[in-house]
Structure 1
């Protein structure tokens, strides 16, 4: 990928071949008519329009007794004897005492609060920016790590048990200070109060407070401006009295825009480089006159935001233009996207049309900046609201994704997308709170799935919380060593005795805390519940065979009822003669207890009593995906439903690969490990073989013994014993063809070239005969374009060279695009989707992928790979070769 760092260099846009694009559907083109229209003539930025002048503009240097000037030459008033401060403020100021270099005003002094304290600002009615400045260092004899406090403003909770120290420590890139910006609407005859509430046995502090008025309708636009609610077919209304927190304000494709270069409200616009996914895109810049209009007056954003931009450039069909932002779960978020066409090539409608995705959901089809704005150099913005769910029932950090890709259905002249600026705001909950959880601070070397490097401190005395954490982590390390020794000693003992009894690798988990029903667990009770053996035997009627709903390499799976029959669960019991044991048992608990996602099976708890190792999961009413494809008498699943199941599985894998602090590689993706609930929602299960990705960003693999299921194994991993997330992509590619063809990954009795589904499907795809191996139950349902895209996607996942396979994010995109093609074809009568329909129904011969097909993330679309190992497709070799026990069991895990 090429990134242009010279802003005045503008790449040519990739034109689409009109002979090829003429085959694309035009039916959805009408939605452009619903786009924003111009209601007033545009004016140049050098027009007599005046910049915004705030009616209220207050700068308070907390802890200072005199007026001071900051680096931008703004004058700050000291809060001592200030009209905004109570009279008892005299003895609560403190100077910074730290080895760090003190920045500028207002960070040189701070105000310390040991009890509730309120600043009162008599301001005019309307929305206000509240900016709070924090420099978390030790002040006098106070330990900054002990500073926790809440903050309220009028009817809103802005912060709750907030730690500036933890927040700054978790920020990337590293910073020393922090500005928290909020927007609060002040009603008529109301005083703007800002109240600090120290947590028990703690203190609060602040270095500076800024209050600035803003235009009435800048962000809070009322019921006259409904906002699309992403993923739901409805509009979102921000009323006239909300509270917002500014999380990100970015000059996309450009440099930092300082507060003095903003449009009268002193907003800081940061570069977007730290948030782009894998640093793709071009950043052209043209210093042109911007023609503001009534809908986007000059105070919307400064001119520089619209003269810099990030586009996709010549590689536009190879990846999504993507950004990623950590946010708090459990809140609605407002995203404002700023656009302005400044490139010479784009002057007319339908020259550059693209799709906007937010969190893998389609937010906008047919995005056309010229259509929206009415011409070049005219800025326009679009608002979207999305809910970031709280999957584990507790506030946690989640990634908010923004992505763009060319909208080829509109036959644009250029395959490209564009963005100039971006603002992201958190909206208050119904209880008036904007408060999120503090980030975690881990002080030990990596000892588990989600640990980080320690933070260095200058304190002479180790804080109490650090001692506690160190003790717990140290104790965990000792327990791991003891566990390893016990496993080693038992294996040696069994070998020495030459025992002929079925061997068991049972090892008791350590007891650290007491449960109400059972002995303790080394895991927090709110993450993973420990059951007694009595509870499990009661739930399964003493493991009655009539309760068995499945079996695998681990052992039998039973349907059970817990909590006096109120909850139905799936109970997986280790078979004593199984090749799997303590390691897989602990891996499953360690992984799943920390993961919560719609498309991952939830681990409810475990039992580790009386030499038993038992796992308890949410019950999946419809069983495994394989049960609905072959080897059962169940009704075949319609094609569109199969696509939706594949999309759900891809979302689960995407969460594993990108949603945690460390990449998680499942290592055993297959149709029997994809379960379906009663609503046909796909959920990934069985994490006993999962591995964490590399710690060092400079390494892209983990060296480990080959484990998995035969027929799904990544050949590169098999040969080199180097595991990557692309190994999961390969396995998922096999699942895709299982779904399409309704046959197992390996059938030994077939002719040699058909034994291995992966190689046989790729062979048929390249020869244009993929339609001949499609499951007859769905053959007449699949639209030709959908099959073409689906085949291309499966083929790309199965490339022998892992680097040439797409990332799971682009696999997910490709599946969603396949579903889109299927639905559009059904609307035109090309595929009946199981519901009839004529005129072009049925399959056509599938040719090689068209250059129009949206390609996959960061990969070459030309496949020059050598064939997959011939030894993996030779039936005689399959029958005779000796393999690892983990991949020999035809029943799987």
Structure 2
């Protein structure tokens, strides 16, 4: 009987524990497809949810004359969902929806697609929105809001959390601004668990940087500003524990090059939700990945893992940080202890996830409140930084974060409204004062008009004076240009800038005049040439008084590439920001010239270090780290942006290496936006011979798996150190991809491996790397892995290699031999074979592999691995940029 009672108790405990992971069942769940006809059958969105039309809806309580139905958008961006964004409800006067709901907070989401409709222009709409006496949007322009975002998306979702306490109604009112109309494409109402984000006095928060406590009362309204899947890809349009939240990739917000590592959850670890952190707090996929620091404790103590976010002033912000230790090496308290800083203020000292949660694989979260005062600009930067705690004796000097949510809390008057981004080209319609007399409204308009007129006049005078001071006359030119390259420069009549400049955010892409670039290259003198390719010639130059080295790609008038490729690369790179993508500094579209200016990559292309070179062979671990970096760049293009991008020209000459051996993907001239609603994009075949996906070549159907194939060829290039195509060889050996697949199938891949790597690669690492590369170059695209899987596979191969080297570096006494294992590992059996190089190459080789460890370990983060700054400062290398020297393949 005692045993029965024990097992019954155990079963009851397990059942209770399991209940914590049950998804939340929303009691209120309304999806309104605004403007859709009542006879419309297309009411199911991409995520499988069914939307109902608001045509003659029971939720519409206002006079029907105040609203009209906008026809289908005349032009639709492929990144925009068909439902609910293709139709809109237009409001010409005040209009209210009333939703019957249960008490408690509700997710209220608005969908906006500011496009041209048959009888309505969404780009010129200004309006306000209130919900249960909370002002959510004021004189809001969906078009300007989208224009102010870095990713330049075509549609917008605004998510709020609104309290419904004293009434069982959620009343949402649209109020057009003066001489304008309001519109909305979709409205979503979803209930949420009680007190999910509400904080009461018994568990008060401490505001960051101040003393005292902070209470979030029941009547607080929130707006979601950021929700990030830290260390993982964007998770959108899924049943996120019953509330359909979207979690975005955090990599665009990482500050600097120190991106840390992104380990995945161990296979034998299961997420265990608890009473304090039930399953609806965040889905399992958020805890599957994380972002941590590097493996080297000394390096980690010298930098912070940092994110930066743009926020509006004058509000309190709630930051919720999600943690979960899922790696088997961290299982006890005190093993990973770190500090949390928010806006350079200490938010938490000695944070210990295991101590908070009670064990490995148990999620936990921490909430912090920060006040952004109304000072200076309307936008400020919010910083979040993690740093290993000092003097605590933790086993791992490291930090970790799995997820992050940032919410704006309403002001004392109930408002969440913020100004439109400062990209408005002209005066916008004025908002009538709500609840005030017309007389006061008119007075406000008069005063505002006078103030704006005065400011405009003063600004015009100031700009005129500044322009006159900065204009200079250039030799042999009748055109005066602005010396400062930031911002807009007058366009000559023979320029093509009208087709490109208007598409660019001026704060992200610098515009140069042709005279500036001629000056830094001595009129494009041949002595500055560092490469050439399909686009034209690449020059080296120094800008900003010689402080910044750049690579300058100048379109050759006889080049087969032209305006389209120039604009493609310009538009894409000006909007993309990732540590593993080459950075575009600026452009020149002046006097018939088309020129792109990039960051300078000192170590040139990956191919420069593989074959037909006097440079010393790359050690195997460095090759793996380069492959991981390039794979992360492609992973970001495919899954880290809202609309996937297919590079279409991945090869070893388009993977660049900076002074610290950090790999970056370059050359986006042939890139295409990937499919959103279809399985592929039908397009003319472009790329480089030897790298083109055979399925794409046969069917002219481009997919993300086409990039995976090309990258698989690069992986074999890295392993075998030979060209992708060698026409003079026997038929089976002409194509590297084909020959490598044959050798892999025979089980003798080492027979075509770079001889310099013999004895250096562990057999298991070679097996894993070869299997991954072979899966990438399979003939059928559906059999190839996604780039996420490629990244994980490469990271695993590196871990296998490092584990083998660690085992080999243990001496008879059980002490680890401290060596630079990438070069001096006992796995190596080549003797002096690496030493036959030139003097300069010997200096490079010695400084990397045979220098003292303490001298070569001043590093920064490189896609989860450490790359040496100290080495880079001592190394002499022949520096070239990204372009391949022969254009026959394109």
TM-score of the superposed pair, with normalisation by structure 1: 0.48
* TM-score of the superposed pair, with normalisation by structure 2: 0.48
